[in-house]
Each structure stands twice: as structure tokens, then as C-alpha cells.
Chains A and B, each alone.
Chain A
Amino acid sequence: GAVVSQHPSWVICKSGTSVKIECRSLDFQATTMFWYRQFPKQSLMLMATSNEGSKATYEQGVEKDKFLINHASLTLSTLTVTSAHPEDSSFYICSARREALSTIYFGEGSWLTVV
């Protein structure tokens, strides 16, 4: 079964509003989680690394004020897309590192459509 869960699976929002996506590690603690964006028929693009108890590390070209990341607990990271625009519509995927197995597991992904 899934060890990393995302919610919601899909969301439609109006342009200008903010949307929050949650990523949870279900049966392990994750000090580090990752957020990716994926366009159709393309690979995953790392947006940021979410660190529990500290600020997220953003990849070059990713606006930290637009994509707010909070990692308040060892099992939850949230991505908030602020003032969403149609071009933010995409498939967002999180992953979490399972320390004991030195392996990274992915969530199911969240489809965001901004209208």
C-alpha cells in the first residue's frame, strides 16, 4: 500500500485564489520531503526540498513566495500555491525519504487546474 499520501488528488480553483496540497508519510517519519511538478509527457521537475522545522530549499527559478512550503511535523509537508494562475495548472507530486531504507517514496500526485 501507499506509504506517502497526497491530498487532494485533484483540485480546481479560480484564478487569484490560493490552494494547499498536503503530503503525508503514513508509517514513517520524514525529516525531508520533496515537491515536484510534472508537465504532460515530461519528467518530474524538482521544485523544492522541504525540511522539517526549517525553511524549504527552492530550486533555481522556483518562486518561493508563490509556492509556499511548510514542514511543520515529521509526517506532514504542505505546498500552498498562492494567487494561482492558469499557468500554474499542473500535476504536483511529493516524495519523502525513508531513512531506514535510504529510499524515497512518492505520493499519488495532485492535479491542479486553475480556471
Chain B
Amino acid sequence: GQQLNQSPQSMFIQEGEDVSMNCTSSSIFNTWLWYKQDPGEGPVLLIALYKAGELTSNGRLTAQFGITRKDSFLNISASIPSDVGIYFCAGRKAHRDDKIIFGKGTRLHILP
């Protein structure tokens, strides 16, 4: 089935560094969602975006809904050890469309 192209697949950074990851698709989406998944747990919603161009922050996290509606990015500023995990982007083609499509995830590692 259709997937979102999420990059990078993995990142190794130093604590305190900023992080940026993105998702792109050949299709237009009406909703972009960013989730974080810790090992052995379900994904937790970080940020939801509903409008093209929308820029939303949640603490040190900032995400934007691309103006073309085909992409979104997530930035994490001043990374800390608890930011380690897998970040998934997800898109929905219509507000009433319950089915969401996931990217393959970006695995974030923080070097000691």
C-alpha cells in the first residue's frame, strides 16, 4: 500500500543538538500527525497539523504542515536523553477519512 517517505531512517546526535526529520508523499494529505514510540509501547501523539502552512509547537518540538500538503517536518530543539525513540509521521487524506498512513519511522539515538 501507499507509504510516506520518512527521512532520515536513523540519527545519531549529541545531547543538546537540534534534530530535524521530514516526511514526503506523492499524494496530498489533509492531516499530518507526528508520533513518538518508546520501545515496547504504543505510539504517543506529539503534534497534529490540520492546515497547509500550519506551524505548531509542543515544548521543544515544532512541526509544520507543508504548503504543498505533500510534506511535513518535525524539529526537536536542544535534545535530551528522553528524546530517544522512534518518531513516526502519519498522514490522512481527508478529515473524515479514519485510515492513516504511516512513515517507516526515524530512530533517534543520543550519544553519551
Contact = CB atoms under 8 A, between A and B. Distances in A.
A24 interface: no
Given A32-B98, A34-B98, A97-B98, A105 B45 contact: yes
A106 B103 contact: no
Interface stretch (B14-22, B35-43, B56-64, B76-84): B35-43
Interface in B50-88: 50, 88
A46 interface: yes
B93 to A, nearest CB: 13
Nearest to A108: B42
B33 interface: yes
Contacts of A4: 42
Nearest to A34: B98
A92 to B, nearest CB: 10
Interface size class of B (residues with CB under 8 A): 20 to 34
B105 A43 contact: yes
* Dominant SS among interface residues on chain B: loop
* Dominant SS among interface residues on chain A: strand
A42 interface: yes
Given A44-B88, A102-B31, A103-B48, A6 B102 contact: no
Contact of B88 (A32, A43, A109): A43
23 contacts: A4-B42, A6-B42, A34-B98, A42-B104, A43-B3, A43-B88, A43-B104, A46-B99, A91-B40, A93-B42, A95-B42, A97-B98, A102-B31, A102-B95, A103-B45, A103-B48, A104-B33, A106-B35, A106-B42, A106-B44, A106-B45, A109-B40, A109-B41
Interface of B: 1, 3, 31, 33, 35, 40-45, 48, 50, 88, 95, 98-100, 102-105, 107
